Amino acid sequence: MAQEKIRRAVCPGSFDPVTNGHLDIISRAADLYDEVVVAVLVNKTKSTLFTVEERLSLLREVTSKYPNVRIDSFHGLLVDYCQRNSIPVIVKGIRAVSDFDYELKMAQMNRGLTGIDTMFMPTNPEYSFLASSLVKEIATYGGDVSSLVPELVHQHLIARIAERHQDDD
Ligand code: PNS
Ligand 1 center from residue 77 Cα (angstroms): 8
Render pLDDT for 4-52 as a digit per residue (tens, 0 to 9): 788 999 999 999 999 999 999 999 999 999 999 999 999 988 899 999 9
pLDDT of residue 1: 63
DSSP labels for 15-64?
A: -TT--HHHHHHHHHHHHHSSEEEEEEE--TTS--SS-HHHHHHHHHHHTT
Q: Name the active-site residue from 14, 28, 55, 132.
A: 132
Residue 63 counted as domain residue: yes
pLDDT band, residue 165 (cuts 50/70/90): confident
Residue 146 counted as domain residue: no
Closest CA to 92 of 82, 84, 104: 104
Ligand 1 center from residue 82 Cα (angstroms): 12
> Which residue's CA lies nearest to atom 6 of ligand 1?
13
Q: Give residue 28's domain range.
A: 8-128
Residue 1 counted as domain residue: no
Amino acid at 81: Y
pTM comes to: 0.95
Query: What is the domain-level CATH number for residue 78?
Result: 3.40.50.620
Q: Output the CA–CA distances (angstroms, integers) from residue 71 to 1, 53, 67, in the order listed.
A: 31, 11, 11
Q: Output the CA–CA distances (angstroms, integers) from residue 105 to 63, 128, 139, 150, in the order listed.
A: 29, 20, 32, 31
Q: Name the active-site residue from 28, 55, 92, 95.
A: 95
Number of domains in the chain: 1
